[in-house]
Structure 1
Amino acid sequence: MPAVVNSSLTYEILMYLNSFYFGMFAVCELGMSVFKAVKLPTPGAGILLGEFSLLLFLIITEGGRIYLGRKGNLTERGLPMLLGILLTIPSALATLYFLIWQNYALRLELILCSIQLVLHATEVIISILCLVAIYRPPSTEE
C-alpha cells in the first residue's frame, strides 16, 4: 500500500503556526513602529500615519487570509482556499513594504518579515497542492 501524504494536514499545521506567528509579528511590528516614531526622526506625520494604516491593513488582510484558508481546508471547499491564496498577494506586498521600502528598517523587522514571507510562500505551495487534491476526481481503484 503506497504512503499518501495528506496535504491538508500539512496546510492546517502551517496555518495554525502562522496564526500564532502573525499575532506575535503584529505586536512586534506595532511596538517597533511606536519606537521608531518616538526615537527616530521621521520626515513627516503623513508617512508615519501611512505606515500605521498599512500595518492595520496587513492585520485585517492576514487575519482574513488565515481564516479563509483554515475554513476552506477544514470544510474541503476550494473557494475559501482560493480567496485565501488571493489575499496572500496584498499581505505579502505589505510585508515587503515593512521589509524593504519603509524609511527605517530595524534588524528585527528584517528577520520577522523574512520569516513571514517564507511562511507565505510555503502556504501558497501547500494550498495549491490541497486544491489539486480537492478537485481531483476520485480514483476507482480499490
Structure 2
Amino acid sequence: MSKMTNVNSSLAYEILLYLNNFYLGMFFVCEVAIGILKAINVSYPENALLTETGIFSALCLVEAFRIFLGQRGNLSSKKVPVFFSVLLTIPSAVGVCYFLIYQTYIIRLEYIWCAVMLMFHALEMTFAILFIFTVCKNQQYD
C-alpha cells in the first residue's frame, strides 16, 4: 500500500506542477499587459511602479525555479529538490499576497488571478509534503 500512496501523491503533485507551469505563463503575460495598461492610464506615486515591477520580476523568477525544482525532484523521486521547492513556496506566496493586497492599484481580475495562484501553492505544498513523507519512509523488503 505504501507504493500506491507514493505513486498517487507523486502523480497529483506532477499534474499540479504541470498545470501551474502553464498558469504561470498566463499569469505573467496578463500581469504584464495589465501593468502596461495601468502605467499608461493611472498616475503612480514616485518609484511605486518600479518597485512593483521589481517584485513581479522576482516573483516570476522564484516561481519558475520553484516549479523546476519540484518537477525535477518529483520525476527523480528525490526529496531534497522537492523540499527546496516547498521552501520557495513561502516567498512566492508572499509575493502573490503582495499583488493581492498591497499593490498600489488592484483590478478585480487580479484578485482572481492571485487567488488561483495561491490555490495552486496550497495544493502543491500539500502534495509535496505527502510526497516527501512517502519518499522518506523506510522501505522494507520482504
Structure 2 length normalisation: TM-score? Answer: 0.94
Identical amino acids, percent of aligned pairs: 43
Report 1:1-142 matches (<5 A).
4-5=4-5, 6-44=8-46, 46-140=47-141
1: CA distance between counterparts of 2:2 and 2:131? Answer: 19
Query: Separation in 2 of the partners of 1:139 and 1:3?
Result: 11
Where 1:4 maps in the other structure, the secondary structure is helix
Aligned-partner Cα distance in 1 for 2:95–2:2:
42
Report which structure shows greater RCO (CA 8 Å, sep ≥6).
Answer: 2
- Give the C-alpha shift of residue 2 in structure 1: 9.8
User: What CA deviation, in whole Å up to 9, does each residue of 1:29-80 have, x standing for no partner?
Assistant: 1111111111112112x11001001111011100100000000000011110
1:3, distance to aligned residue in structure 2 (A): 9.7
Q: CA deviation at 1:139?
A: 3.6
In structure 2, distance between residues paired with 1:2 and 1:135: 11
- TM-score for the superposition, normalised by structure 1: 0.94
- Report how far residue 107 of structure 1 moved: 0.7
For residues 140 and 71 of structure 1, the distance between their equivalents in structure 2, rounded to whole angstroms, comes to 27
Q: Structure 1's 89 and 2: CA in aligned 2 closer, same or farther, altered over 3 A? A: closer
Distance 1:4 1:110, change over 3 A: same
Q: 3-state SS of the aligned residue for 1:20?
A: helix
Residue 133 to residue 102, structure 1, CA distance change in 2 (3 Å) = same
Gaps of 5+ in 1: none
| CA deviation after TM superposition for structure 1 residue 137, in Å | 1.1
1:110-133 CA distances to partner (integer Å, 9 max, x unpaired)?
A: 000000000000100000000001
| Structure 1 consecutive aligned stretches of length 4 or more whose deviation exceeds 3 Å | 1-5
Q: Tell me, what secondary structure is at the counterpart of 2:104?
A: coil
Secondary structure at the counterpart of residue 42 of structure 1: coil
